[in-house]
Structure 1
């Protein structure tokens, strides 16, 4: 009997407890305002279109991005004329839109027009300035040119272009030349390879013989150079032959010819003997 009551009690305790009733959710019967949504969409499109048109106008048609100046940013400039000529060439960009300006085309144009420039770089300084920086070839020699009418002196760079006129730098070697025609500073006054040869000869002689070179005469027609030493005698070399080979002949001859004590007028190294060591010299 007790077991039956216990079972009935357990059965009742297993019945699920019903959840409290919730009021039904009523769906909104209001319809979306289609006119308002369409109006908002049109406003967004119109605003986007207005901003785009305004931006295009400001970028390409207003005066805000039109180039008004060209500036050289180099801190040191050796050739002032070159600087002015570059600025004059770039003056054609004044009034053009800086955004669509093609810098690579301009750099190529300047490089072709001014071969004396080693490197050039153009940049845009928004909103209205084009900046230029360029590297010059180093100054290497003083060139004195004599013609039938005049005698002029120039400072030339390493590829033979005149950088300064009627000036000399005492720290640079002096090269004397003659010219039959009028001097044209728009082209190299001396070929770059010939200039390199002369400068190499001077350095080699001073290093190997411990004697300074005062000046060098370049005779273009006869293809020779004559270097004047501090002992006031000249050494003649064939510019078509390596200067090292010719000066080594002189080095070997020092056992017989004391160039440090002899009073000499010149030494001619251009003529090759049977063994290649022949030299000709003249005493004063």
Structure 2
């Protein structure tokens, strides 16, 4: 018998499904990453809760503890001249005695002091644990003696760099003297001399002494006329217009030295206020 060849049907053969390893790997990675982010977020929230709990516990401890109750206001400026203002600052802050030092706001207290004491230029407040508030301040520097004269009264003051009265009925011979004639009452809460005018007076005095090598022994400030009279050690007076630049007026005097010897002449005054056509005109009077 002849053997019969087996026919194999190729068409319609059942194939095993293809397994895509790359797609499966991406799905697994996403699941793992999502799970990791969830754990990380939980740890972060847990840590935040612990920190907040510690902060709340500490605040409660400090608030309820009597160890941080303010019992003293301490000032650093203990010189004799600052004794009065030290006591005034302590009196202003006396409402802080008994407060909890943890909750004291230094910025609020600094602003409060600056509002009440215009003579203070800068201030710093710090907490000195466990129970002290420490105050340090700097006052505006003293710059001049001011002698006020009226028809019935003569008084002396020492003023600071913004023109406020720092001391009354006192004089400091190391400071320049400024004389003012006025019948108006003095208000100690306002500048005796405006700061801009005071700056002009002090600079003019210094400039003359440096340029001409002659000391100014007294200054008269004429507020209404806006004039400045500088009385020199040679007993003559320089008249300045405070509405003009002092430098320009002193340059006129410098040029006039060729003909006018201010170091040897016996002079009553030199008027630098007048502006001539050339800008160099001066008027002077001999004694």
Please tell me the TM-score bracket, short chain as reference. Answer: 0.7 to 0.9
Q: In the alignment, what sits opposite 2:97?
A: 94
CA distance in 2, matches of 1:102, 1:148: 51
Q: Deviation of residue 243 (structure 1)?
A: 0.8
- 2: CA distance, partners of 1:213 / 1:205: 8
In the aligned structure 2, how far is the partner of 1:193 from the partner of 1:80? 30
Query: What is the aligned partner in structure 1 of residue 171 from structure 2?
Result: 168
How does 1:119-134 map onto structure 2 within 5 Å?
119-134=122-137
Any idea what SS the aligned residue of 1:99 has?
A: helix
1:1-284 paired onto structure 2 within 5 Å: 59-74=62-77, 76=79, 78-284=81-287
- For residues 89-142 of structure 1, give each alpha carbon's deviation from its aligned partner in whole angstroms, at most 9, with x where no partner exists: 112212211110111111122223323211100011112211100112222111
- Classify the secondary structure of the residue corresponding to 2:101: coil
1:81/1:161 Cα in 2 relative to 1: closer, same or farther (>3 Å)? farther
Q: CA RMSD in A?
A: 2.2
- Taking a change above 3 Å as real, the CA distance of residues 254 and 55 of structure 1, as seen in their structure-2 partners, is closer
Supply the distance in 1 between the matched residues of 2:67 and 2:177 (Cα, whole angstroms): 53
Greater CA deviation, 165-174 or 200-209?
165-174
Contact 1:79 1:164 survives alignment (8 Å): no
Q: Which runs of 5+ in 2 are unaligned?
A: 1-53
Provide the residue aligned with 1:42 in structure 2: none
Structure 1: tracts of 5 or more residues without a match: 1-50
The number of equivalent residue pairs is: 234
Any idea what the Cα deviations from partners look like across 1:23-74, whole Å, max 9, x if unmatched? Answer: xxxxxxxxxxxxxxxxxxxxxxxxxxxx999966652245432212111112
